[in-house]
Structure 1
């Protein structure tokens, strides 16, 4: 009788375990992870990168695990225990160059796992001394320098960058799209500075297309196809942006092989009273007797930052804007042009 009792008990326990497994599988779907971020990501060493991931855990969230052999992972937004869905914000801090994989693994209360992987390429950073702001436009307009000079987007949409990466540049419609960095982080009267960026013109004949402008408009401006200097990239300067004039320089341009359906790199630099403008590595330096006011301003991209209804809207794409409060050396400039 005792043997029969144990045998029956064993069967009942076994059946109970099977029923529990069926209950888990029936009542609770497996968890899931998803993201709108490109899952092929290029990072720069010692430059943090944020990723937002959506999670779905019908059985309730339990724990996370990360695998990243090129640096450290910081969990900025932690999911609530037993929560069924939400967002996870993660910051990757790459410490060495190379190629690898970042993997996030989520476990729910039913011991079910799901994972999501990103292909990571970490490149050597250029010298970040003096970096005021960096906008790589990968999924958003946040300042990747860590200085908090985040931009706000108006109408622009994410698109492919010059390397074919999705959601890694912004497209402007030439009608009412623009980007604004309202925080006053850029001093136009600083003794030295460098601005670097990439642009792609969709409509080369459209006049007065503004690439970059400080706020308010009349201080420093970079434009394509100005009325008084057509079919060149040009810059204008004023001593005081609050006075509507260009009393230092107006539409000083450089010739280059700028055309439609092609990405172009520009570099605008200031060394005391000498400004340099280069497009795809070709350009000139210009000396002026006057200097702009020593004051910090915000920046707009893609339109003249004024209440003027025309506003000189840019039609095309912009990407990878860097602002430095110093001059760059040849190797650093080469790095920006080739990466």
Structure 2
């Protein structure tokens, strides 16, 4: 059975080397370039049964109440579920790694919220004097979609990250890309650019004690209600092509579009076929 891989064009070739005509290999050749999605990666939390940082930088998290949940692939224990009351994940000593003053950055995560009627936190570094940065969901100031806020020098700045509110009870990838050079903030939903705005985030240095996932504070304010997975933080601005490549890497598997049945193949021959872009037709 062959699945639609999401690659725009596939060329497949079957090689046979025996008298029985049994195919020994199926070679799929994607006509797309790969991206280095580890470059600039500060922290990466795949949440595969724990809150370990898999970037290699040692920014491991401690789980407080959040329970292992089902991820977007249907895998049990491969995401974290937050109860909307007092669950969160905390990364201590986050000051140096997540102090993003005057820097390009990218935040990426998958969410499945079950409540769009309250303000919820996905990521937050606010600690001393309301300084730091955050990403929240369901804020009226941002049309009940995602807000990215940066606070420093006593001045708060918040902007809508997306124009399209994600549907609740569904998995979505959200990516925020900030370029300090032109103060542009770009929001991507499921790999597609959804909003662009200009904002000076004014992040303040030296005040971030912790990074929180799923809550604004350890006291349980603005707690996320639903599931979070695949959190990534970069210290650079990913390009639109890299964001799309990241979505393609992490997106749920598609259902099979059909089956292919082969008649006996000629021994020692090469047999080629092509699959249309939408996966709906194959021809010999």
The reply to whether TM is greater than 0.5 is yes
2:207 pairs with 1:299: no
* Contiguous gaps of at least 5 residues in structure 1: 1-123
Aligned partner (choices 101, 105, 130) of residue 189 of structure 1: 101
Aligned partner (choices 136, 150, 175) of residue 46 of structure 2: 136
Q: CA deviation at 1:284?
A: 2.1
2:246 match: secondary structure: helix
Q: Which residue number corresponds to residue 9 of structure 1?
A: none
1:254 match: secondary structure: coil
Q: Which residue number corresponds to residue 263 of structure 1?
A: 171
Please report the RMSD computed on the Cα atoms of aligned residues, expressed in angstroms: 2.3
Alpha-carbon distance in structure 2 between the residues aligned to 1:188 and 1:154: 25
Runs of 4+ with >6 A deviation: none
Alpha-carbon distance in structure 2 between the residues aligned to 1:269 and 1:295: 22
Q: Which residue number corresponds to residue 288 of structure 1?
A: 199
Mapping for residues 313-324 of structure 1, pairs under 5 Å: 313-324=223-234
Mapping for residues 93-242 of structure 1, pairs under 5 Å: 126-184=36-94, 185-205=97-117, 207-216=118-127, 218-240=131-153
Q: CA deviation at 1:159?
A: 1.1
Contact 2:163 2:195 in 1 (8 A): no
1:224 match: secondary structure: strand
Contact 2:89 2:213 in 1 (8 A): yes
* Contiguous gaps of at least 5 residues in structure 2: 1-33, 251-284
TM-score (norm 1): 0.57
Contact 1:190 1:294 in 2 (8 A): no
TM-score (norm 2): 0.67
Q: Which has the larger radius of gyration?
A: 1
Structure-2 change in CA distance of 1:290 and 1:250 (3 Å): closer
1:228 match: secondary structure: helix
Mapping for residues 37-116 of structure 1, pairs under 5 Å: none
Q: How many residue pairs were aligned?
A: 209
